Structure 1
Amino acid sequence: MIPPHIDGFLDAALRLDAASFARIRATRAEETAAGRRDASRAPRLSAAEFSALDKRVRDVLRPRSEEFRGAPGGLRAAITVTEVAAQALWKPDVLTAAQYESFVAPFRAEGVAVPPRS
């Protein structure tokens, strides 16, 4: 059910270490505080789509929970930032170019290949 381009993103993103996720979380917090990012603008998936995404992300990250102890935002933040970026990749057509970038650019900065908004 997860589209191939989202699978590719998840394969790379879910290999990031806790420090990378902490940097992504910090970038997200800075952009939100500056008004350049609004989490409420993240595309909404159907219940079935989100369930498949959530299961995939949690199944990979939960076993690494010890790694995230003490990291800013911890495991919960890693799950959230990954799912929100995947939602933007899944439905880029409902986002402006700036909104799309605000959700995916932090992953690109950590070396994850992110397709351009089409």
Structure 2
Amino acid sequence: MHEKRVARAYFAELMLALAVYTILLLAAIRYGRAMPDGWLRTLVLVTPMIGFGMMIRTVARHIARVDEYQRIRLLENVAVAAAITLAATFTYGFLETAGFPKVSMFWVWMGMGASTAAVTLVRKVAER
């Protein structure tokens, strides 16, 4: 029962944070890009980070709510995923010096998410 309540709370908080992020992102793209350079434009373009901060808070609250076993598993998965992401970004840094095209830092976040999902899936399959 506790796990279901924790999962529901996490999902609700995460969806709210994602909604805030998405709304602010769309507004920043729509209005910020058209603004003249300056501090106000910069401020508008980074406003989606409010939603991102909410996501960080949601994840931290979720980690605090789950039991020790789930917390350890989650943190292990994220640690391995971070190492995979680090290796991939570091490798691509060398490839950029060899002439490969520059890649936006936005890809690092997607790589971290994909790595976390892959590590979690592989560990679940290996446990069976």
Coarse TM-score class (shorter-chain normalised): 0.3 to 0.5
Q: Greater relative contact order: 1 or 2 (C-alpha under 8 angstroms, separation 6 or more)?
A: 1
- Could you state the TM-score of these two structures normalised by the residue count of structure 1? 0.34
Larger CA Rg, structure 1 vs 2: 2
Structure with more of its chain in helix, by fraction: 2
